[in-house]
Every structure is written in C-alpha cells, then in structure tokens.
C-alpha cells in the first residue's frame, strides 16, 4: 500500500475521532458518561457485528490463536471512549485531544522502545523526545 493511501486512512480516522468526541460529549452532557459509552460501543458493536456476519459469516474461531493480552483491546477501548466522552464537554475538543494525542504519542514511544505486546522495536530517538516536548508545550499553549 502506498504511503499516501495509508496517510489518508489515518487522517480519516483522526477526523472520525474528533467527530465522535464532539458527538459523545453531547450525549455525556445530557445523559452521562456511562450512557455515552454504551451508545457508542453498543451502536458500533451492533453495526460491525452485522458487517462481520454479512462479509465473513461471523466466524471468530481465529481468536483462539491470538495472545491473551490482545483481548484487552475491548476494555482499553472502553477507557478511551469514556475518557473522550467525559473530557470533551469539560475541556473542549482541542484541549482534550491535545492531551489525548500527547498521551498516545508517549505511550506509543514506550511500546516501540521496548517492543511491548509484540511491537517491532523502534528506539526512542532525540527527534521523538523533542517531539514529545513540543507536544507538552502544545498542551500548555492550548490550556492558556
């Protein structure tokens, strides 16, 4: 796959996360964080379940072959969705996502550095450290 194609897919994901954050924030303000997580995961789970059944017959037998820790993707997704739903209406989209992306970047750098959870080892470089420092400056500027 070309780098441009992959970058477009990543950008679409970023747009979806920002839209989801705002939409979930609206649900959170009206009915609560747990309810916004339920609507998000319930609606998304229902839709992907139908798509999975239609396209692949709903076969999950391959899950027995993945490492146990990969199944933590669901619970960590709940934490992510709850954090977005709760923080966006209280901090605003820009502040919440600046903090969220900075935390993602730092966590990803640690995972890459040590090859955690099956990741390829990609050492933390000086440019990555500078990037993280710039992101901290970005958080400070956004919060002013």
Helix axes 126-143, 93-114, angle to 10 degrees: 160
- Cβ pair 86, 28 in contact under 8 A: yes
pLDDT at residue 58, rounded to an integer:
86
Domain count for the chain, please give it.
1
pLDDT, tens digit (0-9, with 9 covering 90-100), for 58-70: 888 888 999 999 9
In whole angstroms, give the CA distance from residue 142 to residue 124.
Answer: 26
| Domain span at 101 | 3-143
Percent of the chain with pLDDT over 70: 100
DSSP helix/strand/coil, 46? helix
Angle (CA) 49 80 138, round 5°:
140
* pTM confidence score: 0.83
């Amino acid at each position: 796959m070309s780098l441009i194609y992959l970058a477009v897919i990543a950008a679409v994901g970023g747009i979806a996360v920002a839209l989801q954050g705002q939409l979930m924030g609206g649900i959170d303000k009206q009915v609560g964080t747990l309810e916004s997580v339920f609507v998000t995961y319930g609606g998304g789970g229902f839709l992907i379940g139908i798509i999975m059944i239609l396209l692949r017959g709903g076969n999950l037998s391959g899950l027995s072959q993945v490492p146990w820790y990969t199944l933590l993707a669901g619970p960590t997704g709940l934490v992510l969705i709850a954090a977005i739903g709760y923080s966006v209406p209280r901090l605003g989209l820009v502040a919440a996502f600046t903090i969220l992306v900075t935390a993602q970047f730092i966590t990803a750098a640690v995972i890459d550095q040590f090859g955690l959870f099956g990741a390829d080892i990609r050492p933390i470089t000086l440019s990555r450290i500078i990037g993280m420092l710039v992101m901290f400056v970005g958080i400070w500027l956004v919060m002013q």
